[in-house]
Amino acid sequence: MFVVLSGVACIATSLHAQRKDTVRYLGNTLVNVDYHHGQLTPAVGVHNIQVFRANREHPELAEGFGFTYNHQPMLAYWNNKFYLEYLSDPVGEHIPPGQTLLCNSLDGYTWTKPVVVFPQYKIPDGTTKEGYQGVAKNLMAVMHQRMGFYVSKKKRLMVLGFYGICLDKKDDPNDGNGIGRVIREVYADGSFGPIYFIRYNHLWNEKNTSYPFYKTSKDKGFVEACEEILSSPLTTMQWVEEADRKDPIIPLHLDYKAFCYYHLNDGRVVGFWKNGLTTISNDNGKTWPDAASRAPGVVNGSAKMWGQRTSDGRFATVYNPSEFRWPLAISKSDDGLNYYNLWLLHGEISPMRYGGNEKSYGPQYIRGIMEGDGTPPGKNMWVSYSVNKEDIWIAKVAVPVKSEVNGAVDEDFSKMKAGEELNEWNIYSPLWAPVRIEKKNDDRMLMLKDEDRYEYAKAERVIEASKTGTIEFSIMTAQNNCGMMDIECQDAKGDVAIRMTLDSTGRLQVKAGAKYKNVMGYDANQLYNVKLVYNTSTRLYTIEVNGKQVLRALTFAPVDKIERVVFRTGSRRYFPTPDTPAEQTYDLPNAGTPETKVAIFYIKTFKAS
C-alpha cells in the first residue's frame, strides 16, 4: 500500500509541476560529463575571448598583483564601452586579502589592463562573528558580490562591491555578518569617484568603517542614484546573500544564491537562482511566492544560472547543465518559460595553473548584462564568466541562437566584409593563443597564434551535416619547427572521424587507428590548398594537396555524419574528469612565462559542400 500511495504522490507532484506556470526545459538533450564539451552541439557563431590571464610569476603581464583567484565577473555596457568587474584573492577562495578590479573594452575583444576599483580593506582587530570561532588580528576583508553595476535613470554608471569577513578559509563572507556594501561612480573619462558605503551590515556604521556613508556626498546626482538603487527591489534582491538576514529592503528572505531575472512579454518577472531554482513575481519584484522550485527538466548544481531576453525578442538561459562546472551551455525559448534546446557555449577546460582553496574546474559563474545596464551595438548577446576561478572570459553569442548551418560554405576572408568574416565561426581565443583576422601577404586571413604552453587557439566551422561531402581550405604556417595544429572532422557530438596534424617537425600526419601516418612534409610560408573528400558510410576519405592526391584511407573512428571542422593548435584535453579530486593543491611549472617559440597558422579560404 505504501508503494502504491508513494507512486500516486509522485504522479501528482509531476502533474503539478507540468501545470505550474514556470520555466521548464522540455528538450531531450543531456550532457555527458566525461567530455568537457558534454557532447553538446555548439551554438553557431560563439566567440570565447579571454579577458584576463592570471600570472603569479610575472604580475606585470597580468594586473600587477599576481593574484591567482579571480572570479565572479559582472558586465555592463555604458558610454560606448563594455565594463567588466571581477573579484580577486591572492591564492584561493575566501582567503584574504580580497579586492575588486575593473577593465573595459570598446569591442569586447581587446580589454584594458584591470585596475583596482575597490581596494583591500582592513578589518579592525578584535572583530568577531557571532556563532563562529576566531578573532580578527591583522586581517583584511574578502570581497563577495552578486551585483556589480547599475546604470541610473540619468545614465550614470555605478559600480558596487561588498566587503565580507572570513576568519578562516572555511568561513563565509556572504553569511550576513560582513561589513557592508560599497559604491562609487565611473566617470566618462574612465576615472572613479570616491568610495562610499551604500548599505551597512549590523554592527557597522560611519563611525567604525573606513569610507563615508553615501548620504554625506555633496553630489546630489550621486545621492539620487544611490536612492534609486535602494528603492529598486529587483536590484536589492541581488544583495540577499551578503545583507543582514532581516534587512527590510530585501524582498525575499530565503537562502537562495546568485539572483538574476528578466521580464516576460506580459510584464511578469522570472527570477533565477543557483541550483536551477526559479519563480515568478507579478509585481516587478516587490513580492515573490514563498518559495522557489527547481525548474522542471533543468539540470544545474551549485553554479550560477543566467537568463535574459535576446535581441530577436526571444529568451536565453546559460548555465552548467550538470553537477560539475562544465560544460557551459545555452538554451533558447520563444516565450521565456518553455525551453527546448541545449547547445554548447564554452566546452573547454584549460589546465588550472595555480591550485587554491575551493577553486573549481571549468567555465562557471555566468553573468550577462542585466536589464537596464546597457545594450551593446548589434544583435549579439554578451556574457562573462570565469574559468577555473582563475581566468576571466567573455563570450559573444550570435543572435538568433542556432545550432545548424544549411547549404554550401564558400569563404575567402579577403573578399568578405571586414569585421564579419567570422560571424559563422566559433573561436576559442586565449590571450596568449589568439584567434583573429589578420593581414598576411596583402590578404586577410584567419590567424591562429600560440605561445601558451598550457593553452591552444581553436577555430571551428559548423557545416551542413552530411554523410558525403568535400571540405577544402588553404593554409599556411609561419614555421615548421615548432608548434602543431590538429585539423579534425567531427560529428555533432564532437566525435572525431578524421584528424590531420601539422606537427612540430614539418610533417603532415593523419591519425590511422592507434597510430599516426606520415603523409608529406610542409614548408613555412607556403600556401597549401587542401581538399578532403569523405564518405562516412564507407568510412573512406581522400586528401589532395595542391591538386595531387596524397592519401586514401579509412576514418580512424566511425561517425554517422560530419558536421564541423576544427582547427586547433594543441591536442584534445581530457583532464579533469568527473573523478578528479575537487580541489587542486599544486601549481603547474612555468605557468607565467610564454613559450620562447611562437607558432602561427593562417587560413586563407574555407569551403564545404
Q: What is the pLDDT of residues 405-452, one digit of tens each?
A: 999 999 999 999 999 999 999 999 999 999 999 999 999 999 999 999
Q: Give the whole-angstrom CA distance, residue 362 versus residue 350.
A: 8
Report the chain's C-alpha Rg in angstroms: 26
15: confidence class by pLDDT, cuts 50, 70, 90: very low
Q: Mean pLDDT, to the nearest integer, of 284-293?
A: 95
Q: How far out from the chain centre does Cα 92 lie?
A: 20
Nearest 5°: phi and psi at 486? -95, 135
The mean pLDDT of the chain is 96
Q: How far out from the chain centre does Cα 3 lie?
A: 44
Q: Give the whole-angstrom CA distance, residue 87 versus residue 71.
A: 6
3-class secondary structure per residue, 137-195: CCCECEECCCCCEEECCCCCEEEEEEEECCCCCCCCCCCCCCCEEEEEEECCCCCECCC
138: confidence class by pLDDT, cuts 50, 70, 90: very high
Q: Give the whole-angstrom CA distance, residue 360 versus residue 225.
A: 36
Q: Report which of residues 15 and 494 the model is more confident about.
A: 494
Q: Give the whole-angstrom CA distance, residue 528 versus residue 530.
A: 6
pLDDT in tens, 485-533: 999 999 999 999 999 999 999 999 999 999 999 999 999 999 999 999 9
Q: Mean pLDDT, to the nearest integer, of 154-178?
A: 98
353: confidence class by pLDDT, cuts 50, 70, 90: very high
**293 neighbors 303 (Cβ within 8 angstroms):** no
Query: What local confidence, expressed as pLDDT, does residue 5 receive?
Result: 37
187: confidence class by pLDDT, cuts 50, 70, 90: very high
Report the SS3 class of residue 524: coil
Tracing cell 543572435 back to the chain, one arrives at 399
pLDDT above 50 for 248: yes
Q: Give the whole-angstrom CA distance, residue 329 versus residue 336.
A: 16
77: confidence class by pLDDT, cuts 50, 70, 90: very high
pLDDT above 80 for 221: yes
169: confidence class by pLDDT, cuts 50, 70, 90: very high
7: confidence class by pLDDT, cuts 50, 70, 90: very low
Query: What sign for the dihedral angle of Cα 262, 263, 265, 266?
Result: positive
Amino acid at 116: V
Quote the cell numbers at residue 420.
564579419
Q: Mean pLDDT, to the nearest integer, of 333-359?
A: 98
173: confidence class by pLDDT, cuts 50, 70, 90: very high
354: exposed, middle or buried (C-beta count within 10 Å: 0-12, 13-18, 19+)? buried
Amino acid at 530: V
Q: Mean pLDDT, to the nearest integer, of 223-243?
A: 98
Can you give the residue ranges of every domain in the chain? 25-397, 409-608
| Domain 409-608: top CATH class | mainly beta
Of 11-15, 65-69, 78-82, 530-534, which range is least confident?
11-15
User: From start to end of 10-139, where are the E strands?
Assistant: 24-25, 47-52, 69-78, 81-89, 99-105, 115-118
Query: What local confidence, expressed as pLDDT, does residue 4 receive?
Result: 39
The CATH number of 25-397 is which of 3.40.640.10, 2.120.10.10, 2.30.42.10, 1.20.1560.10?
2.120.10.10
CB atoms under 10 Å from CB of 528, counted, come to 17
Query: What local confidence, expressed as pLDDT, does residue 11 receive?
Result: 38
